[in-house]
């Protein structure tokens, strides 16, 4: 069953990349299908054993990400920027939930704070490079950038923890990488053709790895 879910997720991501690159009208529904895939993987893996608090927090983060994706995708249809901001807030809480889950494994050290500081410094330096309504993401983007950098740094820190699988930290690091690419699409320099497929593949792969990592938390 788990293999089938992973195969379906891979097919959904491939379909999503194709739909997004070609600007198909149904890409929002395909995106939600791909996001539902990693949520189903997490639910399945949790049901294989008695879950720890870490597993529940990771699942909550994935669910918040699903709602964030739904809101961000809906913005392309409804065109109300308030919906986009609500999506960013959902992702902020998703990152906070991931961080809470990581803290049940080990306490943060230097790397999470360093990565968070670097993200904030970069966002400050790029404030005047955003286009259109995306300028209005400030100051909310600072909170999200801090949480994203902190979670990504936490993931790098957990790579050195030999008591857990590498799958979880690899997943959150890929999440960080995907959002770094996504941010470039909003700059005045304009988006590149490879931004869309790279972001979508890294994001969905990262979330899927986070979901799969729940197999080891028992």
Long-range contacts of 18-23 (CB under 8 A, 24+ apart): 20/196, 20/197, 20/200, 21/193, 21/196, 21/197
Tens digits of per-residue pLDDT, 5-44?
Answer: 888 888 888 888 887 777 776 777 888 888 899 999 999 8
Task: List, for residues 164-204, the tens digit of each pLDDT value.
Answer: 888 989 999 999 999 888 887 776 666 677 788 888 899 99
- Measured distance between the N- and C-terminal CA atoms of the chain, rounded to whole angstroms: 19
Please answer whether residues 68 and 90 qualify as being in contact, where contact means their C-beta atoms are separated by less than 8 angstroms: yes
Report residue 40 as tokens.
């189903």
Query: Of 208, 153, 152, which Cα lies nearest the Cα of 179?
Result: 152
Query: What is the distance between the alpha carbons of residues 184 and 176, in angstroms, rounded to a whole number?
Result: 13
Tokens of 57: 């927090």
Q: Do residues 111 and 149 lie in contact, with contact meaning Cβ atoms separated by under 8 Å?
A: no
pLDDT of 170: 93
Q: Give the number of domains in the chain.
A: 1
The reply to whether omega before 139 is within 30° of 0 (cis) is yes
Which position has the higher pLDDT, 206 or 139?
Answer: 206
pLDDT reading at 84 higher than 70 = yes
In the prediction, which pLDDT does 137 show?
74
Q: How far apart are CA 214 and CA 173, in angstroms?
A: 16
Once rounded to an integer, what is the mean pLDDT over residues 144-149? 92
C-beta separation of 206 from 58 below 8 A: no
Structural domain boundaries enclosing 58: 2-216
Alpha carbon distance 91, 34 (integer Å)? 17
pLDDT band at 94 (very low <50, low <70, confident <90, very high): very high
pLDDT in tens, 105-143: 888 888 999 999 999 998 888 777 776 667 777 788 889
Tell me the average pLDDT across 70-89: 82
Buried b / exposed e over 146-159, threshold 16 CB at 10 Å, is: bbbbbbbbbbbbbe
pLDDT for the residue 191: 65
pLDDT at site 124: 83
pTM: 0.89
**pLDDT tens digits for range 39-74:** 999 998 888 777 788 889 999 999 999 999 888 887
Residue 101 has pLDDT above 80, yes or no: yes
């Amino acid at each position: 069953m788990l293999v089938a879910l992973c195969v379906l997720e891979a097919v959904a991501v491939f379909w999503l990349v194709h739909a997004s690159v070609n600007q198909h009208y149904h890409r929002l529904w395909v995106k939600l299908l791909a996001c539902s895939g990693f949520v189903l993987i997490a639910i399945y893996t949790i049901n294989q054993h008695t879950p720890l608090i870490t597993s529940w927090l990771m699942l909550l983060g994935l669910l918040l990400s699903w709602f964030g994706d739904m809101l961000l995708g809906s913005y392309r249809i409804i065109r109300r920027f308030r919906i986009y901001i609500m999506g960013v807030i959902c992702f902020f809480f998703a990152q906070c939930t991931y961080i809470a889950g990581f803290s049940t494994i080990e306490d943060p050290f230097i790397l999470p704070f360093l990565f968070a500081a670097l993200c904030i410094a970069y966002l400050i330096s790029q404030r005047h490079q955003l286009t259109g309504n995306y300028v209005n993401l400030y100051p909310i983007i600072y909170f999200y950038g801090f949480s994203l950098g902190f979670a990504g740094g936490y993931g790098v820190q957990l790579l050195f923890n030999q008591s857990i699988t590498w799958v979880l930290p690899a997943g959150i690091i890929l999440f960080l990488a995907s959002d770094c690419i996504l941010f470039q699409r909003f700059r005045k320099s304009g988006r590149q053709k490879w931004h869309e497929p790279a972001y979508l593949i890294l994001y969905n792969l990262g979330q899927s790895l986070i979901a799969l990592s729940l197999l080891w938390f028992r």
